[in-house]
Structure 1
Amino acid sequence: MNNPDVKQQVRTFYDQVGWKTIGEGVYQNARYEDLRPVSREYIHRCHLRVNRFLRNSGDLLLDAGSGPVQYPEYLTYSEKYTHRVCLDISMLALKEARNRIGDHGLYVVADVANLPFKPNTFDGLVSLHTLHHLPLADQKKTYMEFLRVMKPDSSAVVVNGWTDSPLMRTARPFILFMERLGKLISGQHEEDKETVLKSACFGVEPPHKEPTGTFIKKFNPEWLKTEIAPLAKYEIFCWRSVNVRYLRAIVHAALGGKLYLKLLYRLEEWFPKFYGEKGQYPLIVLHK
Structure 2
Amino acid sequence: MGDEVLQLGARGARDRCGAGTSEAEQRVMSAVQPPSLALPAQVLDLLRCPVTQGSLHLMDALTLRGWNAGVETGAVRHLDGAPVRQRFAAALATEDGSVVYGIEDGILLLLRELGMTRDGQYLALPPSPQAATNRSVAAFYDQVGWQTVAAGHVFDDSARYEDLRPVSRDYVRACRRRVAAHLPPHGRFLLDAASGPVQYEEYRAYSANFDFRICADISIVALRAARERLGAHGVCVLCDVGNLPLRDGSIDAFVSLHTIYHLPAQEQLTAMGELWRVLQEDGKGVVVYTWGDDSLLMNLAAGFCFPLRTLKRMGRTLLPRALACRWQKRRSREAQTGRSGVATLTLHSHAHPYAWYRDEVQPMFHAALTCWRSLSTAVMKRLIHDRLGGKRLLAWVCGLEERYPRFFGRHGQYPMFLFHKRGEKGNCAA
Q: Give the structure-1-normalised TM-score.
A: 0.86
Shift of residue 110 of structure 1?
A: 0.6
SS at match of 1:83: strand
**What aligned pairs does 1:108-123 form with structure 2 within 5 A after superposition?**
108-123=237-252
Query: Do structure 1's residue 170 and structure 2's residue 300 form an aligned pair?
Result: yes
* RMSD (Å), alpha carbons: 1.8
**What aligned pairs does 1:16-31 form with structure 2 within 5 A after superposition?**
16-22=143-149, 23-30=151-158, 31=160
**What aligned pairs does 1:230-269 form with structure 2 within 5 A after superposition?**
230-269=363-402
Query: Do structure 1's residue 84 and structure 2's residue 217 form an aligned pair?
Result: no
**What aligned pairs does 1:43-58 form with structure 2 within 5 A after superposition?**
43-58=172-187
1:35 aligned partner: 164
**Residue from 1, 4, 10 that aligns with 2:137:** 10
Shift of residue 213 of structure 1?
A: 3.1
Shift of residue 286 of structure 1?
A: 1.3
> Quick check: 2:139–2:345 contact (8 Å CA) kept in 1?
no
Structure exhibiting the larger radius of gyration computed from Cα positions: 2
Shift of residue 27 of structure 1?
A: 0.5
Shift of residue 70 of structure 1?
A: 0.8
> Quick check: 1:166–1:279 contact (8 Å CA) kept in 2?
yes
Q: Which runs of 5+ in 2 are unaligned?
A: 1-128, 310-341, 422-430
The C-alpha deviation readout for 1:228-285, integer Å capped at 9, x for no partner, is: 2332111111000011100000000000000000000000001000000100000110
Q: Which has the higher contact order (CA 8 A, sep 6+)?
A: 1
What letter matches 1:5 in structure 2? A
Runs of 4+ in 1 over 4 A off after TM superposition: 209-212
What letter matches 1:120 in structure 2? G
Shift in alpha-carbon separation, 1:87–1:28, aligned structure 2, 3 A: same
**What aligned pairs does 1:97-112 form with structure 2 within 5 A after superposition?**
97-112=226-241
Shift of residue 212 of structure 1?
A: 6.3
Q: Which runs of 5+ in 1 are unaligned?
A: 180-208
Shift of residue 136 of structure 1?
A: 2.0
Q: Aligned partners of 1:89, 1:269: CA distance in 2, in Å?
A: 33
1:148 aligned partner: 277
Shift in alpha-carbon separation, 1:286–1:178, aligned structure 2, 3 A: same
Q: Aligned partners of 1:15, 1:175: CA distance in 2, in Å?
A: 33
**Residue from 131, 135, 138 that aligns with 2:267:** 138
SS at match of 1:229: helix
Shift of residue 16 of structure 1?
A: 0.3
SS at match of 1:38: helix
2:347 aligned partner: 214
2:59 aligned partner: none
Matched-pair identity in %: 42
Q: Aligned partners of 1:270, 1:105: CA distance in 2, in Å?
A: 35
**Residue from 403, 413, 422 that aligns with 1:280:** 413
Q: Aligned partners of 2:291, 2:242: CA distance in 1, in Å?
A: 19
Shift in alpha-carbon separation, 1:242–1:210, aligned structure 2, 3 A: farther
What letter matches 1:107 in structure 2? C
Shift of residue 7 of structure 1?
A: 2.3
What letter matches 1:165 in structure 2? S
